[in-house]
Structure 1
Amino acid sequence: MTTILHKESNQKIHVENPSTTDNIKHLNDFYWTNFKEPHAIRRKQILKKYPQVSKLMGPEPLTKYIVFCVVSLQFSIAYYLRNTSFFSWKFFLLAYIVGATANTNCFLAIHELSHNLGFKSPLHNKLFSIFTNFPIGVPYSASFKPYHQLHHKFLGDDKYDTDLPTRFEAIFLSNIMGKIFFATFQIFFYALRPMCITSITFTYIHLLNLISQLVVDFLMLKYWGVNSLLYFIFSSFLAGSLQPLAGHFIAEHYILQPPSFYDFEHFEKNDLMPPETYSYYGILNIFAWNVGLHNEHHDFPYIAWSKLFELNKIANEFYEPLPKVKSWALVLFDFILDDKVTLWNRVRRQRVNTEKAKLADLEY
């Protein structure tokens, strides 16, 4: 039982905590629902009203040129730091300011390529993702694509959406120290969690990604030294740690405006869910392939980064009412300091039929 103050009558009201049998559960649990994810529904509505949106779909030729420049920048700095101590301020500041920004760009370029938005050929997207992976320092691109496909196809699914924190994570990390730890090391959670939850088929692309990355790393160690490789790896760590751009990981799907117990009655009566995707329209999108327009991206994953703002402009009445964040940096602070925002703040759906998923055949 929870006591709240009704704003209009200024009277105290006693509200029963949500039952564990309800569609939506709070307390020490995720936000469970039987409702479909909203993006497929909104996609149909937008295409019905604005069929011209379909013309925005397709690869963006500019992507490969930007990626080449960013990868070249990272190799140039790695060479420059080859004789600089890992423990120096110059090394740390270059890795934090330039390296983390550039590797975030590489991570999210691989995200674009996973939707086949760099080239028309899926194979060319996969191969260029391996090239984009080089500054990250560890093989990542081949595994990211199938797991990310599952995230889109089964958003919030209890098994196949590996973007969701596990129950173990939520139990032990939903406190201020746990959230500091999670926000600092979230790159490891996103890298390791998928392998612990859902298996994918190992293909020749995975092998090529692994071998080519090891060759690049070996050549760097042999000719430039360990500090150059450490610059790549440390930049990747910082890209998913306490750095402004890393706020996008939490901003995208965590419920940042959790409903009060009183609000639950409104949600249940109107068959609504707390919003599960947030968009960000600020300046940091310049470095992040407009991934901040996350409602738009999930609605139309075949529309490239360069046309997401145009999609928003065409169908603005669909996107204006949706939740948004003003700052990725503030999202990190709020996540850590707001006791109402925890790892439980995610919408989950019941596990889909395994046969229906056909993991080996998923190709987005």
Structure 2
Amino acid sequence: MQSSVATATVSPRKKQNIQKVGVSETPKEEDHDRFFWTYTEEPHRTRRQAIIKAHPEVTKLCGPEPLTKYLVALVVSIQVLCAYLLRNTPILSWPFLLTAYIIGATANQNLFLAIHEISHNLAFRSPLANRVFAVFANLPIGIPYSASFRPYHLTHHKSLGVDGLDTDLPTPLEALFLDSVLGKAFFCTFQILFYALRPMFVYKLPLTKIHVFNIVAQFTFDYALAKFAGANGLGYLILSSFLAGSLHPCAGHFIAEHYVFSPPPPEAMDAANRIPIPETYSYYGPLNILTYNVGLHNEHHDFPAVPWTRLPELNRIAHEFYDELPRHTSWVYVIWQFIWDRDVGLWCRVKRKEGGRKVGGSLWREDELGANEKVGPIPGVR
């Protein structure tokens, strides 16, 4: 099957005997754990330092992007308007369903990724302003989400691939039971629920003031919207959120970012070489326009304090570091290949036992990976 990845591929499943880097596994153990295990640190820190050494001017790209707050306000307004206009439209009708899929899901996926930007303190310089604005961006999503997303996501950056810390990783139970075409189709259809529920099964966050504020603000908004636009208006927003994380073109980024579609190079199989396995994939296609350039994912993980508008410039300046990295050419085809290719699935993730730590335990103050931190050898990471 043709791959959505721009580099040549070899079947990861056909390489099961070497999926644990530098470790000899018995077939029985491989049946229960077929992730790509590595014992090197994640590659972004190393590449970040190399890029800064070669192009020190990239550090000037860090900092908030004022445009973000205006786009968020626009999209929130569009969703509230659509909810009001659909207040008397039956949910099980083509006008309602098509609006929810074409406009609503795209808009709410945009807001998911706006919250992603804001979690890195890239909308305002003030940490408090970013926390509060993330709650505002959360309103059309219908479910309180932004306060919990931030610490889980920052831990994902600080602990990429670390077993028990990175909640973006599928659990062995998910990978085992969804290891089929139907299982992967189920995962892609309901992946928004997996991303919402999985973190709570990996580790729980303490309830803080920002979580309470997020919950109160969200349910107050939901109640007001239901009174103003009826149950159908609120149902439109909830359905939009579900479809945004289901079989929608923009939802392809969830799978495209870190699932391994091309296997590790043979030299990486020897732990003595200490060669990192490519575990982050970028996408440079047109859907980035709707998703805050989240497709430039290697660039984002290398420099999380660079906002979405300046990631293309980062790629231009340091192109020699990105030109040869594996990339996807289509998010739609990513979903198709993930479901139908028997050699791609939930097992195809890079995992490591050690490194990283939990991030984001504070209430309002500036924490890890924020845009306002001093830019040193590892910009955006304290």
TM-score (norm 2): 0.86
Distance 1:358 1:114 in 2: 12
> Which position in structure 1 is the counterpart of 2:124?
119
Q: 1:165 and 1:94 mapped to 2: Cα distance?
A: 31
For the pair 1:300 / 2:296, whether they are aligned, the reply is no
Deviation at 1:267, TM superposition (A): 3.3
Checking the alignment, whether the CA contact within 8 Å between 1:115 and 1:302 is kept in structure 2 is: yes
- Is the aligned partner of 1:332 residue 2:313? no
Deviation at 1:329, TM superposition (A): 0.4
What are the Cα deviations for residues 247-277 of structure 1, in whole angstroms up to 9, with x where unaligned? 0000000001135xxx646632744344100
Q: Distance in 2 between matches of 1:359 and 1:303?
A: 19
Question: Is the 1:162–1:193 Cα contact (8 Å) retained in structure 2?
Answer: yes
The 1:52–1:209 alpha-carbon spacing in structure 2 relative to 1, beyond 3 Å, is same
Tell me the distance in 2 between the aligned counterparts of 1:172 and 1:341: 15
Is contact 1:200-1:359 (8 Å) kept?
A: no
Query: Hey, what does 1:314 align to over in structure 2?
Result: 317
Q: Structure 1 residues 24, 323: closer, same or farther in 2, change over 3 A? A: farther
Structure 1 CA distance, aligned partners of 2:291 and 2:246? 15
Q: Note if contact 1:293-1:308 (Cα within 8 Å) is conserved in structure 2.
A: yes
Q: Deviations over 1:71-107 (max 9, x none)?
A: 0000000000000000000001000000000000000
1:18 is aligned to 2:18:
yes
Letter in 2 for 1:310: E
Q: Which of 285, 291, 294 is matched with 2:294 structurally?
A: 291
- Which of the residues 186, 195, 202 maps onto 1:190? 195
- Specify the alignment match of 1:96 in structure 2: 101
Match of 1:139 in 2: 144
Aligned equivalent of 1:239: 244
Separation in structure 1 between the aligned mates of residue 209 and residue 21 of structure 2, nearest angstrom: 46
Stretch deviating more after TM superposition (24-33 or 150-159):
24-33
Tell me what 2:235 maps to: 230
Asked if the contact 1:133–1:141 (Cα under 8 Å) also holds between the matched residues in 2, the reply is: yes
Gaps of 5+ in 2: 1-14, 370-382
| Counterpart Cα distance in 1 of 2:17 and 2:171 | 23
2:59 maps to 1:57: no
1:343 corresponds to 2:343: no
Higher relative contact order (CA 8 A, sep 6+): 2
Secondary structure of 2:45's aligned partner: helix
Q: For the Cα contact (< 8 Å) 1:56–1:307, is it kept in 2?
A: yes
CA 1:64/1:342 → structure 2, altered by over 3 Å: closer, same or farther? same
Mapped to 1, the partners of 2:268 and 2:67 lie a distance apart of 46
In 1, distance between residues paired with 2:355 and 2:343? 29
Letter in 1 for 2:18: P
Q: Which residue of 1 aligns with 2:73?
A: 68
- In structure 1, the residue matched to 2:6 is none
Is contact 2:141–2:238 with CA below 8 Å preserved after alignment?
A: yes
Contact 2:18 2:269 in 1 (8 A): no
Deviation at 1:200, TM superposition (A): 1.5
* 2:38 aligned with 1:38: no
The size of the alignment, in residue pairs, is 345
Question: How big is the alpha-carbon RMSD for the aligned residues of Structure 1 and Structure 2?
Answer: 1.9
- State TM-score, norm by structure 1: 0.91
Distance 1:339 1:273, change over 3 A: farther
Structure 2: distance between partners of 1:23 and 1:98: 48
Q: Is the contact between residue 84 and residue 229 of structure 2 (CA under 8 Å) also seen in structure 1? A: yes
CA distance in 1, matches of 2:127, 2:24: 39
Change in CA separation of 1:24 and 1:137 when aligned onto 2, cut-off 3 Å? farther
Distance 1:24 1:41, change over 3 A: farther
**Greater CA drift, 197-206 or 33-42:** 197-206
